Amino acid sequence: MPGFELFGTEEQKEVQDVLDSGVLMRYGFDPMRNGHHKALELEKDLADKMGTKYAQVVSSGTAALTVALACAGIGSGDEVIMPTFTFVASFEAILSVGAIPILCDIDDTLTLDPKAIEACITENTKAIMPVHMCGSMADLKALKSICEAHNLILIEDACQAIGATYDSKPLGSYGDLGCFSFDYVKTVTCGEGGGIITNSEIYADRAHKYQDHGHDHIGNDRGAETHPFLGYNYRLSELNAAVGIAQLRKLDNVLSIQEKNYTILRNALTAIPEVTFRRVPETGVESYAFLNIFLPTEDLSRKTHKALGAHGIDACFYWFDNNWHYYKKWEHLLEQKSLGKLSKEIQTGLQKNNKTFHNSDIWMGRTISCLIKLNWTEKEVEERASKMKEAIQSIL
């Protein structure tokens, strides 16, 4: 999965362009650039690749979510429904704009359960934010229907699933706004970076201003630009963008490699009756970044995870005990541990999350996710498949 596995001369060339010009900042210094505007180029490439009218690159996936939320007009006291299984950045971004993250159960897609969402909707709900974890997606058709029925905004967190599609559309392009992470361990990496895509001219216009202190970017004199509204600094540097340009060009090849390696492993495990697989919604095609399996019980899943490690199988994750990705270890959120004083609205709103999520626990307790790497040889994948099968059968 990590794009850094394929770093080569392509990335070096793009970075050298920036170093040769000496302009590492996205804006200004046009006479020195030698025609290179890497962040702008990456935005054009990203929009084209994702089939959207607009794209905005920013400094991280967290920044992408933050800017998307702000551009959607989400702020103080608003509620955003998000899943119990994601990365902490999802709720950090919501909190950063003054809104309240409302946790909701997942189902066998390992993403938001549409059936659980209705109970989470209140008069303060403004958006639903599915997180397409581990290379696959939520049931976006069902979520979109809910959004339309309740006049809500659909924001896709596709940070872990770039390249996957739903209803023949790239993930991120189905909702009102879509977000990506380009951090070091993502399928497309800038080292650090993120991206937002949308077909809304209004959201796109807000995004380019908000991520750069509210600058309107009119004219050639940066010092003379005005500020239509408050913004913050979420810009992406030219160096990071340069890496992303080369990486994005490799996406189709990366997806092909991931699918090949994924298929070998899945075919081997299909022979074990007790092993089942994550459900991919109808019309969905995952990015094959992870192979996600279910064991019959939590106890067997724990033992299997340990057995995989004992058989030399690395990069397999038991998320149920993970500090970063599952709600059970988000005590800093649930206990409201903040350096600064949280608003009364947030303090009160977060109390809604002080409950158990039984259905999520059932699925996560049985889940093991195995990262699909790009630099495995075919022989290594075959050997890995054999060891995985052996490890699982040793428990069952």
| Together in a domain, 244 and 284 | no
| Together in a domain, 270 and 217 | no
| Together in a domain, 101 and 205 | yes
Domain containing 78: what range? 3-250
Domain boundary among 215, 232, 250: 250
Domain boundary among 227, 250, 273: 250
Q: How many domains does the chain have?
A: 2
Which residues of the chain register pLDDT less than 70? none
What CATH number did the domain enclosing 391 receive? 3.90.1150.10
State residue 26 phi and psi, 5-degree precision: -65, -45
| Together in a domain, 281 and 179 | no
Active site residue 306: no
List 38, 144, 186, 389, catalytic entry: 186
- pLDDT given for residue 237 in this prediction: 98
What CATH number did the domain enclosing 31 receive? 3.40.640.10
| Together in a domain, 185 and 38 | yes
| Together in a domain, 47 and 64 | yes
| Together in a domain, 167 and 97 | yes
- pLDDT given for residue 1 in this prediction: 75
Domain boundary among 198, 223, 250: 250
| Together in a domain, 340 and 264 | yes
| Together in a domain, 189 and 330 | no
- pLDDT given for residue 209 in this prediction: 98
| Together in a domain, 12 and 160 | yes
Nearest partner of 374 among 243, 173, 219, 188, judged by Cα: 188
| Together in a domain, 234 and 339 | no
Query: Which pTM value belongs to this model?
Result: 0.97
| Together in a domain, 191 and 308 | no
- pLDDT given for residue 156 in this prediction: 98
- pLDDT given for residue 268 in this prediction: 97
- pLDDT given for residue 2 in this prediction: 87
